[in-house]
């Protein structure tokens, strides 16, 4: 664990809370490592049925703490080539595991949502933001290219032209605009961000976990396959989901004319 990130499992939900408000919750190596380990483990933990990522203070995440990493002390600065050696197992791994873990991930975000913070929000299955949040890709204004999946995630969510506005022109948009563009699930007043996200994660945690996980897998893989390949994946997924206890419960609830009581099995 790290002092700047808290993790807890409560009622089937893995709760991850960024806790570095003095730096607008800018991520560091230790925080990224814990996020990766916790989300990856959630996919194997039978008790976890949803993941919720929140942050302390007025801002979700202002990006990565590149100032801290590139300190003036020459002895502490990374060697040339460190970025390309490090990224595959750090920030790039974080985005990959968020996209591929077979439990739904929800983000609640307000204030600044920038850089890798924006990419975490974009990689989540559902992100609820404050309507006055500030959504920003800082890369072009800092003189380096995007990382952590920005050039892969954004075009798929908002289209190529709007991705250019964000990544090339460095345009800052509000949370309300981000929702209008389809970059996030929804935008609400700041006071409603956490309650809305909590209601959403409670709904997901009470859902048919196997089915939700397989549906997430199908959505993520669909763009990479031909129709015939994807139809085979759909057949595989329905074979698994139809053998679950939740499938039988769903059928029985339909017969009984009541709401299903899924157990995640």
Which CATH number does the domain housing residue 160 bear? Answer: 3.90.226.10
CB 211 within 8 A of CB 234: no
Q: What is the pLDDT of residue 188?
A: 98
| Structural domain boundaries enclosing 133 | 5-205
Domain shared by 91 and 57, yes or no: yes
Domain shared by 228 and 181, yes or no: no
In a domain, 157, yes or no: yes
Domain shared by 24 and 106, yes or no: yes
- Domain stop point among 189, 205, 221: 205
Q: What is the pLDDT of residue 187?
A: 98
Q: What is the pLDDT of residue 223?
A: 87
Domain shared by 214 and 201, yes or no: no
Domain shared by 143 and 221, yes or no: no
In a domain, 224, yes or no: yes
In a domain, 261, yes or no: no
User: How would you write the pLDDT of the chain (265 residues) with one tens digit per residue?
Assistant: 689 999 999 999 999 999 999 999 999 999 999 999 999 999 999 999 999 999 999 999 999 987 665 555 555 666 777 777 776 668 889 999 999 999 999 999 999 999 999 999 999 999 999 999 999 999 998 898 999 999 999 999 999 999 999 999 999 999 999 999 999 999 999 999 999 999 999 999 999 999 999 999 999 999 889 999 999 999 999 999 999 999 999 999 999 999 999 999 9
Domain shared by 144 and 217, yes or no: no
In a domain, 225, yes or no: yes
In a domain, 71, yes or no: yes
Q: What is the pLDDT of residue 216?
A: 97
Domain shared by 15 and 60, yes or no: yes
Total domain count for the chain?
A: 2
Domain shared by 176 and 78, yes or no: yes
Domain shared by 47 and 135, yes or no: yes
Domain shared by 101 and 43, yes or no: yes
Q: What is the pLDDT of residue 204?
A: 98
DSSP label at residue 59: -
CB 101 within 8 A of CB 39: yes
Q: What is the pLDDT of residue 81?
A: 75
Domain shared by 191 and 224, yes or no: no
Q: What is the pLDDT of residue 85?
A: 76
Q: What is the pLDDT of residue 138?
A: 95
């Amino acid at each position: 664990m790290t002092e700047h990130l808290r993790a807890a499992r409560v009622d089937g939900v893995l709760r991850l809370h960024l806790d570095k408000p003095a730096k607008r919750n800018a991520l560091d190596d230790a925080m990224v490592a814990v996020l990766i380990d916790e989300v990856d483990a959630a996919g194997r933990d039978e008790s976890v049925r949803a993941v919720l990522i929140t942050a302390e203070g007025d801002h979700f995440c202002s990006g990565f703490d590149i100032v801290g990493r590139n300190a003036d002390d020459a002895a502490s600065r990374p060697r040339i080539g460190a970025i390309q050696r490090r990224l595959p197992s750090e920030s790039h791994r974080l985005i990959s595991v968020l996209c591929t873990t077979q439990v739904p991930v929800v983000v609640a975000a307000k204030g600044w949502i920038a850089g890798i913070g924006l990419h975490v929000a974009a990689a989540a299955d559902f992100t609820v933001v404050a309507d006055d949040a500030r959504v920003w890709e800082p890369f072009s204004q800092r003189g380096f290219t995007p990382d952590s999946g920005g050039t892969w995630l954004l075009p798929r969510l908002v289209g190529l032209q709007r991705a250019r506005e964000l990544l090339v022109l460095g345009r800052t948009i509000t949370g309300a605009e981000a929702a209008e563009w389809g970059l996030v699930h929804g935008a609400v007043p700041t006071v409603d961000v956490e309650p809305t996200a909590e209601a959403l994660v409670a709904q997901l945690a009470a859902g048919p976990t196997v089915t939700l996980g397989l549906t997430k897998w199908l959505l993520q893989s669909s763009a990479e396959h031909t129709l015939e390949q994807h139809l085979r994946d759909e057949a595989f997924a329905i074979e698994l989901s139809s053998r679950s206890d939740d499938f039988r419960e769903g059928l029985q609830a339909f017969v009984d004319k009541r709401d299903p009581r899924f157990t995640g099995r």
